[in-house]
Amino acid sequence: GVYRVAYTPDHLRLLGEAAAQPHSPLTVEDRVGLVSDAFKLAQANYSKTSSSLALQEALAGDSSSLVNLAMAQNLGTLASVWWEQPKELRDGINKLRASIFGPHARKLTFEFGKDDSSELRELRSTVISAAAAGGDEWTIAQIKERFAPLRDAGDDSKIHPDLLRTVLSQSVRHGGEAEYDAVLRIYQKPDTPAHKMSAMIALGYAPTDALVQRTLDFVLSGEVKTQDIMYFFSSLAVSYTHLTL
Question: CA–CA separation, 230 vs 227, rounded Å?
Answer: 7
pLDDT at 244: 41
pLDDT at 127: 98
pLDDT at 184: 97
Question: CA–CA separation, 11 vs 172, rounded Å?
Answer: 42
Intervals of the chain under pLDDT 70? 240-245
Long-range contacts formed by 168-171: CB under 8 A, 24+ apart: 168/198, 168/199, 168/201, 168/202, 169/198, 169/201, 169/202, 169/205, 169/235, 170/132, 170/133, 170/140, 170/143, 170/205, 171/143, 171/144, 171/147, 171/202
In order of 32, 58, 198, the CA distances from 100 in angstroms are 16, 9, 25
pLDDT at 240: 54
In single-letter form, the type of residue at position 187 comes to Y
Neighbours of 135 (CB within 10 A): 17
pLDDT at 242: 45
